[in-house]
Amino acid sequence: MQALLLGLVLLLPLLFLKLPPCYGQNAQRAPQDGFHFSFTQSVYHATVYENSAARTYANSKIKMGIHLAQRSWEVRYRITSGDDEGFFKAEEFVLGDFCFLRIRTKGGNAAILNREIQDNYVLTVKASVKGEALLETWTKVSIQVLDMNDLRPLFSPTTYSVTIAESTPLRTSIAQVTATDADIGSNGEFYYFFKEKMELFAVHPTSGVVSLSGKLNVAEQNRYDLEILAVDRGMKLYGNNGVSSTAKLFVHVECVNDHAPVMNVVTHTPSYLDKNTVYGMVTVEDQDEGPNGEIDSVFIVGGDPSEKFFVERSVEGTFAIKAFQSVNWEIYPYGCNLTLQAKDRGTPPKFSAVKIVRIMVEKRQTTETKFEQELYDISLNEISPPGTILEAVKISPEPDDAEYILITSADSAFFQMNTLTGVISTTRWFTHVFQDVFNLEVLELDSDLKVKVRITIEDANDNTPTFPQSSYEVFVNESVSVGTSVLTVSAVDEDKGENGYITYSISSLQPLPFRINQFSGVISTTKELDFESSPESFVFVVRASDWGSPYRRESEVNVTIHLENVNDNQPLFEKVACQGVISGDFPVDEVITTMSAIDIDELELVKYKIISGNEQGYFDLNPDSGILALQNSLATANPKNNVFSLKITATDGENFSDPMFVNISVVHGKFPPKRLTCEETRVAQKLAEKLLKKSKASSKPKIEEGFIDLFSVNRQTPQFDKTFPTDIAVLEDLKVGSTVFKVNLKGSDTTAKMLSAYNNNLCSLSPAHTPLIPGCALTDTARTSKKMMNNNGLNEHPCRVPRVKLKKGEIIPFVITAALGSLYNILIHLIKLALKPK
């Protein structure tokens, strides 16, 4: 161990005797003159595109080369390794004190760069100085070969074949073609398309998935040869169109029997006397096409153990159920239940679901005479006028001599019946009838059959909400808080349901400090009230509206709310902070100044009082007038700091003002008797402005005087046109439904108008609120040859005008409602009564 250490000690001097070290890995040795000779970097990075032409220079983001310590240096660059194929050449270019290193592609017969073969080259470049053998250095240049779009997409494989069913759903993916492009980035992207336009197929441009876009029909075509091309998306090199080799896709379409037949059966119930009877028709449908959609047969699979029935093809897709021979239907009183099934001609065939069909014949039955309904349930609006037709009851089958009567009861007094037609109509108004349901019984005389008729009276919106008072008046303290209820109004509507449901609203064109609860009618305040700045009374209208239909009814009531004044304001001085001087010989009882305070409430007189500063009694303040006078001589007065500081207040009996101060200095000598100044508070001006505002608010016109609700008040009377006839001549054989004449109605109101006329029991109104007049009886000219339309309603009119809602200027047609000249029918009726057994 000691020998080893001794050897190392002897080697240390030899190390220090060696030549100076190299400058990094680049320098062979340091120049003798001390200049530095090396590349700016040990490694450079540059790029060049593949297929670049000769003498194409590589691109570097930083400058490559050597700084020239001496301008006389002649630097040479040479590639020493990394370029086995001889693609590159190093050149030098001197600019100023820098010698640039430039790498370019060689010319001549040199090979062309191909990124797909090699995409990176690391070149070792040596730099030397001509004539200086010891000045040498090295660097590395990494050349990245960039991609050019020089390759086309290629399919692999180039032929595809698929087989699909004819029933393949639309947008189903049936195949996928694949192509590749050796380029990278966007140069390697491409899209697929058909060489020729295809209606039934579509290819996804990027995935190459081929899908079905149309309905296949194997009967028309069972094979499709598709040619698919791939197109490069990038910029084409050398004018290349980028189309690859064509891929072929062969699509074979197979016919598939997808659907089973579906049967629809229509049964027929023939008479037992019919020959060659068809008991039912079977229609069979199959959604398949071609042989798969053709129906082979329909057969009976159950329910016919005696094999009495068979199914016969009628036309394409239609089959008839028949019997081999006559059937003894006495054995089958409830018919037979046959089970049917259909089969198509597909491969393999498909069968329909079984269907059970009941077949039977019509038995001879005795016809039962009865009313068409077991119970006639009728609704009648309460405002329907007398003569309104409700229903025509009749028996079926109805003989020619059928006669109907209403069985007398308490309820039948409100109705009448046409004995020949069975038409029931009203005889009076129902607006003041409190009964809701009427039960009638109708008897047909010949058959002695009876039927019940129930008539339900429906409420109509014929009542207007009414207030129990013609007006409301209330006094309210101005100090009430916001939201306080000051009054409750209430209206009553005698209608039922929504027709009688009432809501309330305030009608005013001016803003009010009140609001009303639309459901309860409670009026409450919405902001603070002030007697001094607002009107002393508020007059407005409250409207009550029901929820009736077809239009709402409303009524109004005037409401007056008076404000009561409250002593809620303190007196305010017109002048404050008074100060001045008076002479020592100022006369006793002489007025110094007058205090003045104003109380906005104006309810009580203001009184004045000295609170402090007059302990020695030199001054006197009149409590009523506010006059401040000297009470004792000031000759011997010796106030503190020669100043009297009087603290004065004013009160209205409840509220005290803020105190004011009067500072009086006493001087001796030749001075004016007094000199006093005060600050103005402008209280009087503010009060005047407040009173003026109140005066303007109180002088506004009453809202109710100029407010007219044109939509809820019926102020105008409807009038007939001047051309209204005084009499009308009608032929006795005029047909039912014929127009007699038209009425032109005039009126100024915008609300609905009603027109009515009285009639006798020969004519009636049906339905309610229609301008047509249907008939309910017969009119005989021997008994009624002339009728007047303007009498007092004593049931003497063969025609009637219903109460209908009309707009201004609307025409109302009068229609004849019954056949005139019916003596023949009356005679028949009399003969029937005479022939009845007594």
The pLDDT score that the predictor gives to residue 235 is 58
Q: Which two tokens stand for residue 398?
A: 């109805």
Contacts of 690-698 with C-beta under 8 Å, sequence gap 24+, read 690/532, 690/533, 690/600, 691/532, 693/533, 694/532, 694/533, 694/534, 694/535, 694/536, 697/534, 697/535, 698/535, 698/536, 698/537
Domain boundary among 129, 146, 163: 146
In the predicted structure, residue 780 carries a pLDDT above the cut 70: no
Kind plus residue range of the DSSP H or E element containing 4: helix 2-16
Half-sphere exposure of 66 (CA within 13 A, CB side): 28
Does one domain contain both 67 and 93? Answer: yes
Residue 411 included in any domain? yes
Greatest Cα pair distance in the chain: 172
pLDDT for 504 equals 94
How far apart are alpha carbons 817 and 738 in whole angstroms? 8
How far is 478 from 254, CA to CA, in rounded Å?
96
pLDDT at position 21, please?
30
Question: Are residue 419 and residue 440 in the same domain, yes or no?
Answer: yes
Q: How far apart are CA 439 and CA 594, in angstroms?
A: 94
Residue at which a domain ends, from 84, 111, 146:
146
User: What is the rounded CA–CA span in Å between residue 716 and residue 733?
Assistant: 40
- At a CB cut-off of 8 Å and minimum separation 6, what does 110 contact? 54, 86, 87
Q: How far apart are CA 652 and CA 33, in angstroms?
A: 117
Specify if 304 maps to a domain. yes
601-623 pLDDT, tens digit per residue, is 665 688 888 888 888 888 888 88
Q: Which of 556, 528, 535 is nearest to 472 (CA)?
A: 556
In terms of Cα–Cα distance, which of 468, 517, 476, 529 is closest to 493?
468
The mean of the pLDDT values for the chain is: 77
pLDDT at site 670: 67
In angstroms, the CA 727 to CA 741 distance is 11
pLDDT digits (tens, 9 = 90+) for 70-96: 888 889 999 999 888 888 889 999 998
Residue 634 has a CB neighbour count (10 Å cut-off) of 21
Confidence of residue 772 (pLDDT cuts 50, 70, 90): very low
pLDDT digits (tens, 9 = 90+) for 632-668: 887 777 787 778 888 888 887 777 888 888 888 887 7
Round to whole Å and give the CA distance between 186 and 207. 16
Highest mean pLDDT among 86-95, 646-655, 703-712, 803-812: 86-95
Distance CA 777, CA 766 (A): 13
* Gap between the terminal Cα atoms of the chain: 167
DSSP track, 758-827: ---TTB-B-STT-S---B-S-B-TTT-S---SSS--SS--S-------B-TT-EEEEE--S-B--HHHHH
Mean per-residue pLDDT for 423-446? 90
Asked if 403 and 476 sit in the same domain, the reply is no
- pLDDT of residue 600 exceeding 60: yes
- Please count the structural domains in the chain: 7
On whether the CB atoms of residues 776 and 425 are closer than 8 A, the answer is yes
Distance CA 548, CA 495 (A): 9
**Quick check: 271 and 307 in contact, CB under 8 A?**
no
Please tell me the distance from the alpha carbon of residue 620 to that of residue 353, in angstroms, as a whole number. 124
User: 74 lies in which domain range?
Assistant: 43-146
Q: How big is the chain, counted in residues? A: 838
Place of tokens 């007006």: 471
**Residues 582 and 673 both lie in one domain:** yes
* pLDDT over 50 (residue 282): yes
- Residues 765 and 817 reside in one and the same domain: yes
Please choose, from the candidates 137, 114, 106, the residue with its C-alpha nearest in 3D space to the C-alpha of residue 124.
137
pLDDT at 810 over 50: no
Residue position matching structure tokens 């039960």: 439
411: Cβ contacts below 8 Å, ≥ 6 apart: 435, 438, 439, 440
Phi, psi of 201 (to 5 degrees): -130, 155
Q: What is the pLDDT of residue 821?
A: 35
Cα–Cα dist 148/52, whole Å: 9
Question: 403 and 298, same structural domain?
Answer: no
CB 59 within 8 A of CB 71: no
Average the pLDDT over 182-202 and give the result.
84
| d(C-alpha 587, C-alpha 796), whole Å | 110
Give ∠ CA 98-101-106 in degrees, rounded to 5. Answer: 150
* Residue 740 per-residue DSSP state: E
Most confident of 11-15, 216-220, 416-420, 676-680: 416-420
Tell me which DSSP letter residue 690 carries: H
User: Is 406's pLDDT higher than 60?
Assistant: yes
Phi, psi (rounded to 5 degrees) for 497? 60, -145
Sign of the dihedral through C-alpha 4, 7, 9, 14: negative
Between 447 and 726, the more confident residue is 447
Q: Comparing C-alpha atoms, which of 442, 428, 426, 449 is closest to residue 379?
A: 426
HSE of 662, CA atoms in CB hemisphere, 13 A: 29
Of 225-239, 320-334, 575-589, the range with the lowest mean pLDDT is 225-239
Q: What is the pLDDT of residue 108?
A: 67
d(CA 280, CA 704): 80
CB atoms within 10 A of CB 689: 12
Taking the C-alpha atoms of residue 522 and residue 2, their distance in angstroms, rounded to an integer, is 121
Per DSSP, the three-state class of 389 is: strand
Rounded Cα distance between 524 and 512, Å, is: 11
Q: How far is CA 358 from CA 141, 271, 318, 329, in A?
A: 98, 15, 18, 13
In percent, the amount of the chain with pLDDT more than 90 equals 25
Q: Considering the domain boundaries, does residue 31 fall inside one? A: no
Give me Rg for the CA atoms of the chain: 60
As given in the structure block, the two tokens for residue 148 are: 């050019």
List Cβ neighbours of 647 (8 Å cut-off, separation of 6 or more): 610, 611, 612, 613, 659, 660, 661
The better pLDDT of the pair 69, 760 is held by: 69
3-state helix, strand, coil in the chain (%, to 5): 10, 40, 55
726, 833: one domain: yes
User: CB–CB of 393/442 below 8 Å?
Assistant: yes
Confidence band, pLDDT 50/70/90 cuts, at residue 818:
very low
* Secondary structure E strands in 501-613: 502-507, 514-516, 522-525, 537-546, 554-564, 572-573, 575-583, 591-594, 597-598, 607-612
Measured CA to CA, the distance from residue 584 to residue 284 in angstroms comes to 137
Does 535 lie in the same domain as 580?
no
CATH code for position 324: 2.60.40.60
Q: Are residues 837 and 727 in the same domain?
A: yes
445, pLDDT greater than 80 = yes
Is 152 or 56 the better-scoring residue by pLDDT?
56
Residue 364 buriedness (CB in 10 A; 0-12 / 13-18 / 19+): exposed
305 or 10, greater pLDDT: 305
Least confident of 308-312, 367-371, 410-414, 723-727: 723-727
Structure tokens at 458: 């429906």
Count Cα neighbours of 566 within 13 Å in the Cβ-side half-sphere.
11
Query: Does 244 lie in the same domain as 213?
Result: yes
Q: Is 4 a member of any domain? A: no
Average pLDDT for 808-821: 38
Does some domain include residue 466?
A: no
* 123-151 confidence digits (pLDDT tens): 999 999 988 878 899 999 999 988 877 77
In a domain, 3, yes or no: no
Nearest to 225 by CA among 159, 154, 155: 159
**Residue 221: both structure tokens together:** 């075509």
| The pTM of the whole model exceeds 0.85 | no
Distance CA 200, CA 210 (A): 10
Q: Cis peptide before 153, with omega less than 30 degrees from 0? A: no
- Same domain for 230 and 311: no
| pLDDT tens by residue, 667-680 | 776 667 788 888 88
Domain match, 303 and 266 both: yes
The answer on pLDDT for 418 being more than 60 is yes
Q: Which of the pair, 577 or 443, is modelled with greater confidence?
A: 443
Using DSSP, state whether 732 is helix, strand or coil: coil
Instruction: Say which residue the tokens 């006028």 belong to.
Output: 385
Is there a domain that residue 15 lies in?
A: no
Confidence (pLDDT) at 631? 82
Residue 153 has pLDDT above 90, yes or no: no
Q: What is the pLDDT of residue 14?
A: 36
Provide the pLDDT for residue 287: 83
Q: What is the pLDDT of residue 142?
A: 94
Q: Which residue has the tokens 């069913």?
A: 165
Higher pLDDT, 375 or 156: 375
Please write the tens of the pLDDT for every residue from 99-120: 999 999 887 666 788 888 888 9
- Domain membership of residue 28 (yes or no) is no
Q: Which residues of 102-135 are buried (b: 16+ CB within 10 A; e: fewer)?
A: bbbbbeeeeeebebeeeeebebebbbbbeebeeb
Encode pLDDT of 375-396 as tens digits: 999 998 888 899 999 999 999 8
Looking at the DSSP assignment, which residues form a beta bridge with residue 271? 362
Domain termination site, one of 254, 284, 318: 254
CB 510 within 8 A of CB 706: no
Query: Residues 6 or more apart from 450 whose CB is under 8 A from it?
Result: 407, 441, 442, 443, 444
